[in-house]
Amino acid sequence: MGNRSGTRYVKFFRRLIANSQPKDIDAIVERYTKDLEATESNYLDIVIHSNGALSYEDVMRMPVSSLRLYVQRINHLNEQRAEAAKKSRRR
């Protein structure tokens, strides 16, 4: 399924380029390059914040819905830790 989905995106990108004016193509490629870099940075952040529980390959195999849930859980855990640390400083 992942390959079919990836193929669909390649076809979309090719169609977008084919239907664009030459002056617009550089901007389109630049936008997609920035999006790719941002996505990969987010994936690497997940790996880093997992403290070794997840590898890059694990993250790449996970569906986006699972990644969203994982990030929500990590953020919730970090908020709980920050609140606990804040309470302990008050004492």
- So where are the chain's domains? 22-90
pLDDT in single tens digits along all 91 residues of the chain: 444 555 666 787 778 778 878 778 888 888 889 999 999 999 999 999 888 889 999 999 999 899 999 999 999 998 999 999 998 887 7
Please check whether residue 36 is in contact with residue 43, taking contact to mean a CB–CB distance below 8 angstroms: no
**pLDDT, position 9:** 65
Quickly tell me which residue has 């870099």 as its tokens. 37
Q: How many CB atoms lie within 10 A of CB 46?
A: 19
Q: Which sign does the torsion angle of CA 80, 78, 85, 90 carry?
A: negative
